């Protein structure tokens, strides 16, 4: 029996939460369907993609728009390319990821009478789009066959301009690669770990300042990720005389090595769509301290049971929770075990089954 063809549409495949989810879903679903991953520009996938998956690029490079005319030209070009790819590959269903790709995927899919699922990754109450993209999102999202969101807050937002029967909450799946590389009963080091893009919204400077202000004898702070603020954060560690205790290791395809070897995970974002890394750290039994930012952490962490929530930008609270966890191995173990039990719900097969249920409704 001929496999149905599913196309994922996403801007690129660089390191990031949406990119990891697309890679994970594509790898799992390629046993049942013929999978094509379409990126809006040419980029080498950071995460592993199965050899059976066809990666097609719309453009050779990111299309930069310096004015409205260039923006119109670039997006009409991408739209035309998507339509051609859908037609040439006889696509049966499309799945968009991230706002711009979602809108383009919907328009191109509907022009070819193809069912379309979109996955909104950001918090629309926080991440403000320009007037044109806001209008396009509002008018086109209602045309999608399903809208997948990750939090109750996002569900409430999008229910204002589309029918609730089209909306569903699906959390991110844990990567099967991460799951298979988890080590049990290994000796961990005195490491406070932070994973994510180094930028102002992630507020890693808060963690650096908190770390400098408490007793950290024998402890290290490790940041996994790259970003525009890296140079500023390195300078901050120098000014606080923390160079010997703080490491910036860049992006890593083996982030599981850091999860396996660390004792505490700290997450300091000002806002989120849904924090993949928080679930990942919890699965590796790391006691987590997270800001109670909109949105996601409060739907994952039960305060004091499987982690700690602190107010956004509250350095004093962060210092107290760090000191508490650093000083008590029993507390770290207890919270870490509870975190793991909660994170098991996000195992790959559980989430993929829920995605496949939606897919089957549209292509039967």
CATH class of 177-345: alpha beta
Q: Which of 359, 146, 221, 193 is nearest to 290 (CA)?
A: 193
Per-residue pLDDT of the chain (364 residues; tens, 9 = 90+): 789 999 999 999 999 889 999 999 999 999 999 999 999 999 899 999 999 999 999 998 777 777 877 888 899 999 999 999 999 999 999 999 999 999 999 999 999 999 999 999 887 877 778 888 889 999 999 999 999 998 888 898 899 888 889 999 998 999 989 999 999 878 899 999 999 999 999 999 999 999 999 999 999 999 999 999 999 999 999 999 999 999 999 999 999 999 999 999 999 999 987 889 999 999 999 999 999 998 889 989 999 999 999 999 999 999 999 999 999 999 999 999 999 999 999 999 999 999 999 999 999 8
Please give the pLDDT value at position 327: 97
Residue with tokens 């979602």: 102
- Collapsed DSSP state (helix, strand, coil) of residue 43: coil
CB atoms within 10 A of CB 185: 4
| Integer Cα distance of 186 and 288 in angstroms | 19
User: Domain-by-domain residue ranges, the chain?
Assistant: 5-173+347-363, 177-345
DSSP label at 225? B
Please give the pLDDT value at position 255: 96
Please give the pLDDT value at position 132: 87
Cis peptide before 359 (omega within 30 of 0): no
| Integer Cα distance of 264 and 307 in angstroms | 10
Please give the pLDDT value at position 37: 98
CATH 3.40.1110.10 assigned to 5-173+347-363: no
Please give the pLDDT value at position 124: 80
Tell me whether the CATH fold assigned to 5-173+347-363 matches the one assigned to 177-345: yes
Please give the pLDDT value at position 126: 74
Using the Cα atoms of residue 320, residue 321, residue 323 and residue 329 in order, give the sign of their dihedral.
positive
Please give the pLDDT value at position 3: 93
DSSP label at 303? B
Asked whether the beta carbons of 305 and 335 are under 8 A apart, the reply is: yes
């Amino acid at each position: 029996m001929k496999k149905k063809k599913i196309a994922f549409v996403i801007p690129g495949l660089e390191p990031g939460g949406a990119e990891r989810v697309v890679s994970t879903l594509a790898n799992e679903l390629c046993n049942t369907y013929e999978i094509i991953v379409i990126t809006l520009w040419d980029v080498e996938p950071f995460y592993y993609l199965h050899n059976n998956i066809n990666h097609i690029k719309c453009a050779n490079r990111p299309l930069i728009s310096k004015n409205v005319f260039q923006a119109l030209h670039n997006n009409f070009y991408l739209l035309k390319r998507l339509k051609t790819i859908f037609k040439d590959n006889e696509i049966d269903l499309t799945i968009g990821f991230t706002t711009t790709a979602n809108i383009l995927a919907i328009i191109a899919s509907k022009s070819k009478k193809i069912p379309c699922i979109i996955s909104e990754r950001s918090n629309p109450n926080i991440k403000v789009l320009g007037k044109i993209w806001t209008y396009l999102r509002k008018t086109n999202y209602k045309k999608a066959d399903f809208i997948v969101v990750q939090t109750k807050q996002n569900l409430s937002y999008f229910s204002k301009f589309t029918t609730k029967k089209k909306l569903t909450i699906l959390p991110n799946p844990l990567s099967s690669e991460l799951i298979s590389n988890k080590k049990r009963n290994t000796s961990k080091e005195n490491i406070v770990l932070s994973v994510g893009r180094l930028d102002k919204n992630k507020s890693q400077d808060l963690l650096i300042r908190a770390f400098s202000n408490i007793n950290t004898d024998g402890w290290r702070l490790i940041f996994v990720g790259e970003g525009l603020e890296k140079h500023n954060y390195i300078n901050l560690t120098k000014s606080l005389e923390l160079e010997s205790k703080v490491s910036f290791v860049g992006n890593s395809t083996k982030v599981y090595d850091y999860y396996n070897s660390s004792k505490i995970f700290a997450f300091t974002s000002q806002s989120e769509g849904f924090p993949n890394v928080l679930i990942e750290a919890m699965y590796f039994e790391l006691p987590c301290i997270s800001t109670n930012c909109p949105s996601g952490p409060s739907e994952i962490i039960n305060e004091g049971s499987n982690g700690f929530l602190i107010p956004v930008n509250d350095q004093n609270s962060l210092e107290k929770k760090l000191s508490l966890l650093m000083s008590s191995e029993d507390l770290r173990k207890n919270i870490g075990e509870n975190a793991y039990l909660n994170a098991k719900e996000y195992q790959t097969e559980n989430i993929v089954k829920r995605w496949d249920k939606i897919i089957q409704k549209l292509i039967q």
